[in-house]
């Protein structure tokens, strides 16, 4: 192992990181990679079978023991959020990072035909859950060194487009929420908030939104890992940017 690898291991070793939507796609890839670097990953997802699968994989391939939290974010409220806080508090004295990655599209539709049930579910999963979890877990984060909040974003957070409906609204809301939090937490040394747009990436959600697209022409989720590492590590301490996109210089 070279010197750079050793430095990287030390940067992530024993960090406590909550990742929502950790059972597949970007969340799964980031969970696996950070576990290899020694981070303690708290895996949150609604899919119990996939949670068990990634838990077993991390146990078998790393020296860390992740924590599993099964939760459907579409039903998250203040009581269930406090239950999550209690679980995390029992196992960890502090929390270094939250990666808000869970998201759903549900449907592509014009606004006129968008049903209220789908609209509310998308907003709850993609936006309201991030608000509830962040609000309730901040006390565990503030005392840590280099605390981080990371929101996984989208191009439609910056420019609304036809048929993206509630998904675009939710991602636009997350963008603004991240900017608000960055401003409010600025007084805490090295507390950074990022809104990261992974751009076109080979995921199930991308396939649902663009069914005619050739997935082989898209980048793999593993190509996003350097950005998540940079955002979490002290390398980003001097950055004043909240909005980061794949392809940006870091």
pLDDT at 7: 57
d(CA 145, CA 10): 13
Residue 4 pLDDT > 70: no
Sheet holding 67-70, edge to edge: 67-70, 40-45, 16-20, 97-100, 148-152, 192-197, 243-245
Mean pLDDT for the stretch of residues 11-40: 95
pLDDT for 167-196, tens place per residue? 999 999 999 999 999 999 999 999 999 999
**Please, how many CA atoms are within 13 Å of residue 128, restricted to the half-sphere of its CB?**
17
Average pLDDT of the chain, as a whole number: 92
Number of H helices, E strands in the chain: 9, 7
CB atoms within 10 A of CB 118: 17
Does the pLDDT of residue 42 top 70, yes or no?
yes
User: What residues are annotated to the active site?
Assistant: 167
Residue 211: per-residue pLDDT: 78
The pair of three-digit structure tokens given for residue 44, joined into one six-digit string: 């949150």
Tens digit of each residue's pLDDT (9 = 90 or more) over 191-225: 999 999 998 776 777 777 777 778 788 889 899 99
Q: Give Rg (Cα) of the chain.
A: 17
Residue 250 has pLDDT above 80, yes or no: yes
The reported pLDDT for the residue numbered 67 is 97
Res 6: pLDDT: 52
Beta bridge partners of 42: 18, 67
Domain boundaries, the chain: 3-245
* Residue pLDDT, tens place only, 64-103: 999 999 999 999 999 999 999 999 999 999 999 999 999 9
Superfamily for the 3-245 domain: NAD(P)-binding Rossmann-like Domain (3.40.50.720)
Q: Is the pLDDT of residue 238 over 80?
A: yes
pLDDT at position 1 is 33
Q: How many CA atoms lie within 13 A of 48 on its CB side?
A: 1
Categorize the per-residue pLDDT at 8 as very low, low, confident or very high, splitting at 50, 70 and 90. Answer: low
Closest residue by Cα to residue 199 from 226, 177, 218, 171: 218
pLDDT at 9: 58
Q: In this predicted structure, what is the pLDDT of residue 64?
A: 94
Beta pairing partners, 98: 18, 149
Residue 54 has pLDDT above 80, yes or no: yes
Structure tokens at 30: 């980031």
Give pTM, 2 decimals: 0.93
Is the distance from CB of 167 to CB of 156 less than 8 angstroms?
A: yes
């Amino acid at each position: 192992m070279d010197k750079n690898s050793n430095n990287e291991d030390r940067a992530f070793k024993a960090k406590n990181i909550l990742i929502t939507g950790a059972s597949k796609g970007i969340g799964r890839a980031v969970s696996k990679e950070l576990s290899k670097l020694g981070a303690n990953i708290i895996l949150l997802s609604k899919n119990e079978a996939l949670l068990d699968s990634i838990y077993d994989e991390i146990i078998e391939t790393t020296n860390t023991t992740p924590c599993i939290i099964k939760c459907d974010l579409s039903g998250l409220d203040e009581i269930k959020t406090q239950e999550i806080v209690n679980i995390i508090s029992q196992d960890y004295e502090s929390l270094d990072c939250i990666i808000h990655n869970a998201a759903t599209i549900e449907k592509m539709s014009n606004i006129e035909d968008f049903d209220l049930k789908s609209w509310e579910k998308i907003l709850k999963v993609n936006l309201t859950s991030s608000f509830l979890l962040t609000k309730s877990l901040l006390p565990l984060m503030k005392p840590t060194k280099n605390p981080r909040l990371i929101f996984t974003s989208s191009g439609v957070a910056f420019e609304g487009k036809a048929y993206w409906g509630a998904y675009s609204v939710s991602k636009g809301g997350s963008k603004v929420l991240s900017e608000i939090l960055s401003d409010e937490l600025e007084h805490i040394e090295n507390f950074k908030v990022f809104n990261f747009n992974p751009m076109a990436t080979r995921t199930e959600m991308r396939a649902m939104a663009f069914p005619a697209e050739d997935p082989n022409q898209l980048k793999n989720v593993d190509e996003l890992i350097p950005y998540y590492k940079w955002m979490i590590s002290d390398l980003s301490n001097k950055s004043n940017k909240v909005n980061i996109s794949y392809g940006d210089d870091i």
